[in-house]
């Protein structure tokens, strides 16, 4: 499970638990009301309506989040249905409460208003802020006739409305911020994937541009000289052979230049790869510490090339397979070999081992071709360490003729 999925899971369940607080608040209110003469039947009805509101709030939270993240249409039916249920629950709880006593009616009114308050959490996620505030204001105003009919004074009704509005504002802001955070995490993950695709596209564009620059002029020259040779041959001119000889020379030169382009594309330079890794990691907000020592730039070309591949693959793994906040690259030299160590944190504890990965297998093959080896020594919990050792006398393996 990736970081966006885990973040959404944590925040989603925090909203569910917030909705589950409603029954506990209601139990305390019912206990006080029962001690002041609330009939058992009214208590059971109130608790049943509160549980109904809790279940509908949890389901509504799930639907509202799906709409907020763009996974489904706006749940208009749920908005209207849960609003009606909350309003009817308030009226039912209030009107079935005891009539005697100046302080008993406000207890049942508080119980009924808790259903309305918790209803507002999913609403502020499913609707824009202005519309959700308008919906909450409308629902609170619709509770006024029930409050007055139950015998509450106008001042008591106004006080309950003010307290309910303040509580709804705090609860709604918390729910809205949680949904916003989930959306931001998903947007960052999408941006990261887009950045990776753009990097691949940019590299392909660079390669195609290099091929165009190398072959464009030469192929045009070959076409013109071939056409000239055809015209001269048709006229029986001996210069046709000279033109074809020139065409052959240009074709061989083009073949050599294409090989140089491909060789440059398929090889890695340690200094260039370290600079690229530092730039990419910092762009991904990963602290990067690189220490190549004073002799890092004086290594043999073959050693620099294979260690450059190690840096490239290790950087790719840090960005793709971890949630690192820091990464270090250190080069140590001895009399016989160079040892490059790459360490990063942010490795999930439940992540399977990377020993069977194709990227690491490819690095082992490259290092083995130069007499080196790749090891994965033990690291601190949540960290990953990769060590590549190459003899300083390593030389590039002979390329097979093509």
Using one digit for the tens of pLDDT, what is the confidence trace for 117-162?
Answer: 888 889 999 999 999 999 989 988 888 887 887 777 788 888 888 9
Q: Which residues pair with 340 in a beta bridge?
A: 331, 388
Helix H, strand E, coil C: the string for 202-256 is HHHHHHHHHHHHHHHHHHHHHHHHHHHHHHHHHCCCCHHHHHHHHHHHHHHHHHH
Query: Strands 337-344 and 287-291: what pairing?
Result: unpaired
Q: pLDDT at position 103, please?
A: 47
- The confidence score (pLDDT) of residue 389 equals 92
Q: 326-333 and 337-344: which strand pairing?
A: antiparallel
Which tokens is 154 given? 């106008």
pTM exceeding 0.85: no
Q: Give tens-digit pLDDT for 274-305.
A: 887 887 777 667 888 988 887 777 788 888 88
d(C-alpha 297, C-alpha 281), whole Å:
21
Q: Give me the count of residues in the chain.
A: 402
Grade residue 356 by pLDDT with cuts at 50, 70 and 90: very low
Q: Which two tokens stand for residue 398?
A: 């002979």
For residue 213, give the nearest of 260, 168, 167, 178 by alpha carbon.
260
Residues 6+ apart with CB under 8 A from 137: 165
Q: Under DSSP, is residue 5 helix (H, G, I), strand (E, B) or coil?
A: helix
Q: To which residue do tokens 């050792």 refer?
A: 389
Q: In angstroms, how far is the first alpha carbon of the chain from the final one?
A: 45
Helices (H), 268-300: 270-283
| pLDDT tops 70 at residue 35 | no
> 270-391 has which CATH code?
3.30.565.10
The CATH code of domain 196-266 reads 1.20.5
What are 217-269's pLDDT values in tens digits? 678 778 878 888 888 888 888 888 888 888 888 888 888 878 777 766 656 67
Nearest to 88 by CA among 120, 46, 26: 46
The pLDDT assigned to 265 comes to 60
Rounded average pLDDT over 209-216: 70
In the chain, domain spans: 3-191, 196-266, 270-391
Using an 8 Å Cβ cutoff, are 140 and 161 in contact? yes
What phi-psi label fits residue 336: left (phi over 0), alpha (psi between -120 and 50 degrees) or beta? alpha
Per-residue model confidence as pLDDT tens digits over 299-349:
888 888 888 888 888 887 787 766 788 899 999 988 888 999 999 988 876
pLDDT category at 29 given cuts 50, 70, 90 is low
What pLDDT shows up at residue 354? 46
* pLDDT in the model for residue 33: 57
Q: Are 125 and 60 in contact, with CB atoms under 8 Å apart?
A: no
- Closest by CA to 118, choosing from 168, 60, 84, is 168
Exposed, middle or buried by CB within 10 Å (0-12, 13-18, 19+), for 77? exposed
> For residues 111 and 43, is the Cβ–Cβ distance under 8 A?
no
């Amino acid at each position: 499970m990736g970081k966006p999925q885990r973040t959404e899971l944590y925040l989603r369940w925090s909203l569910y638990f917030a909705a589950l607080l409603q029954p506990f608040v209601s139990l305390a209110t019912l206990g006080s009301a029962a001690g002041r003469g609330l009939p058992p039947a009214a208590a059971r009805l109130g608790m049943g309506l509160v549980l109904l509101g809790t279940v509908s709030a949890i389901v509504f939270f799930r639907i509202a989040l799906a709409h907020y993240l763009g996974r489904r249409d706006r749940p208009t039916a749920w908005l209207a249905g849960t609003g009606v249920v909350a309003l009817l629950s308030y009226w039912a709880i209030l009107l079935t409460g005891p009539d005697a006593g100046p302080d008993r009616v406000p207890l049942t009114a508080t119980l009924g208003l808790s259903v309305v308050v918790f209803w507002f959490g999913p609403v502020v996620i499913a609707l824009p802020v202005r519309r959700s505030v308008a919906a909450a204001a409308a629902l609170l105003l619709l509770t006024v006739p029930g409050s007055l009919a139950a015998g509450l004074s106008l001042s008591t009704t106004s006080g309950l409305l003010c307290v309910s509005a303040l509580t709804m504002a705090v609860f709604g802001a918390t729910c809205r911020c949680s949904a916003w955070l989930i959306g931001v995490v998903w947007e960052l993950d999408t941006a990261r994937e887009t950045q990776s695709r753009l990097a691949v596209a940019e590299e392909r564009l660079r390669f195609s541009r290099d091929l165009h620059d190398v072959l464009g002029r030469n192929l045009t020259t070959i076409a013109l000289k071939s056409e000239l040779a055809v015209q001269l041959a048709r006229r029986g001119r001996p210069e046709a052979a000279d033109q074809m000889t020139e065409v052959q020379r240009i074709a061989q030169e083009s073949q050599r230049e294409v090989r140089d382009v491909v060789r440059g594309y398929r090889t890695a330079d340690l200094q260039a790869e370290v600079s690229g890794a530092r730039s990419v990691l910092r762009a991904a907000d990963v602290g990067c510490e690189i220490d190549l020592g004073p002799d890092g730039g004086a290594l043999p070309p073959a050693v620099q090339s294979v260690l450059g591949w190690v840096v490239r693959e290790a950087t790719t793994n840090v960005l793709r397979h971890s949630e690192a906040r820091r990464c270090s690259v250190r080069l140590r030299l001895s009399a016989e070999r160079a040892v490059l160590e790459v360490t990063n944190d942010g490795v999930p504890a439940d992540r399977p081992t990377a020993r069977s990965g194709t990227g690491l297998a490819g690095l082992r093959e490259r290092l083995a071709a130069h007499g080196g080896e790749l090891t994965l020594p033990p690291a601190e919990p949540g960290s990953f360490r990769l060590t590549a050792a190459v003899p300083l006398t390593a030389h590039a393996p002979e390329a097979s003729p093509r």
